[in-house]
């Protein structure tokens, strides 16, 4: 089952007042400039089978909804977000722990986003893993500084496709230890390059050489 939310915030009002069942929903595809709430809180518990979210041009998401509330979506495999200027981050570290099936993460055309994973100050440092993530695309993120700038170590054991383009503000991928054993090549604004010796070192080296991501 797939749904496309209408290009109007009226979806939210209607949803909260109905008894529709979304238990078999596997895909959400939203194209709208007027969405204030992506998924009403009363609907989230029904979305245990949700596999894919495609969100485009939703520049009016309210502050309380600017992080994707994905903690309850254990089967999510694909997340694509494009042109949602008010979002400042995508996940918190605790949300990442639940994304055990996520394979494809594509984020593009953001004005404000600085990180993909936001640090939680009250959380102790640990090894954070996205065990199935294979493809990561980060494009046209003018304020983007890094994937995660917190104190967690990161493991992306299956990541083998990485694209970073038009992200001129990037300083590093992660602040702490990063493991990407399957990643050999990165697609950048200045071409395809082998990742040596590791991703964080590669980014820093290219910046010293005068390259702009």
Supply the pLDDT for residue 6: 41
Q: What pLDDT was estimated at residue 94?
A: 82
pLDDT of residue 42: 72
Left if phi > 0, otherwise alpha if psi is -120 to 50, otherwise beta: which for 83? left
pLDDT reported for residue 38: 67
What domains can you pick out in the chain, each with its CATH number? 2-208 (3.80.10)
Residues in the chain with pLDDT values less than 50: 1-16, 63-70
**Chain-centroid distance, C-alpha 79:** 7
For residue 56, what pLDDT is reported? 84
Calpha distance 81→58 (Å, rounded): 9
Cα(198)–Cα(153) distance, integer angstroms: 14
Angle at Cα 44 formed by Cα 26 and Cα 46, nearest 5°? 60
Q: Report the predicted TM-score, pTM, of the whole model to 2 decimal places.
A: 0.83
Rounded to whole angstroms, the Cα distance separating 38 from 46 reads 14
Quick one: pLDDT at residue 36? 64
For 103-132, the pLDDT digits (tens) are: 999 999 877 899 999 987 777 778 999 999
List beta partners, residue 191: 188
For residue 17, give both structure tokens.
């007042």
Structure confidence at residue 83 (pLDDT): 84
Taking a C-beta distance cutoff of 8 angstroms, is the pair 192, 185 a contact?
Answer: yes
Ranges of H-type helices in 55-213: 93-96, 199-208
């Amino acid at each position: 089952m797939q749904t496309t939310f209408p290009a109007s915030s009226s979806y939210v009002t209607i949803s909260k007042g109905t008894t529709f069942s979304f238990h078999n929903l596997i895909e959400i595809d939203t194209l709208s400039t007027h969405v204030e709430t992506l998924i009403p809180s009363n609907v989230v518990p029904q979305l245990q089978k949700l596999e894919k979210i495609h969100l485009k041009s939703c520049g009016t998401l309210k502050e309380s909804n600017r992080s994707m509330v994905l903690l309850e979506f254990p089967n999510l495999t694909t997340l694509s977000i494009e042109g949602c200027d008010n979002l400042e981050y995508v996940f918190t570290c605790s949300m990442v722990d639940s994304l055990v099936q996520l394979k494809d993460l594509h984020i593009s055309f953001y004005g404000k986003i600085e990180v993909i994973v936001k640090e939680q100050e009250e959380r102790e440092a640990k090894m954070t893993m996205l065990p199935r993530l294979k493809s990561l695309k980060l494009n046209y993120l003018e304020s983007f500084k890094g994937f995660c700038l917190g104190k967690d170590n990161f493991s992306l054991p299956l990541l083998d496709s990485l694209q970073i383009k038009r992200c001129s503000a990037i300083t590093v991928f992660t602040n702490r230890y990063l493991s990407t054993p399957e990643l050999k090549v990165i697609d950048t604004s200045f071409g395809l390059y082998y990742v040596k010796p590791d991703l964080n070192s590669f980014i820093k080296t290219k910046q010293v050489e005068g390259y702009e991501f």
